[in-house]
Amino acid sequence: MRSFGEARRWKQMDVHSCAAVLWVLTSRPGKVSFDEIRQKLDWLDLEAVLPEMRRLEGVVFLKTAPAGLSLTQDFRDQIRLEITQ
């Protein structure tokens, strides 16, 4: 039953908003602060998307001021490979 709940959460994920955040993160070499993400994606409800971003392996939540997000190098490379194909 647990896997059904997990499948439902993946199905209900806001793919467009997550993709937009990933685009911002891949366009920068390191950490992107939450404020920067809000400025670049002013239409996005970041607080609603953050729990979904936590589910993506390779997205790193950084608490050091200014708090923000980054990507592991492996995930960054994987995204870039997918984009270029």
Domain that residue 53 falls in: 2-84
As a whole number of angstroms, the distance between CA 1 and CA 57 comes to 23
Residue pLDDT, tens place only, 16-43: 999 999 999 999 999 999 999 999 999 9
d(CA 43, CA 78): 27
- Mean pLDDT to the nearest integer, 67-82: 95
Give dist(CA 29, CA 15) in Å, integer: 23
pLDDT in tens, 39-72: 999 999 999 999 999 999 999 999 999 999 999 9
CATH number of 71's domain: 1.10.10
Amino acid code (one letter) for 76? R
- How buried is residue 8: exposed, middle or buried, by Cβ count under 10 Å (0-12/13-18/19+)? exposed
Q: How many domains does the chain have?
A: 1
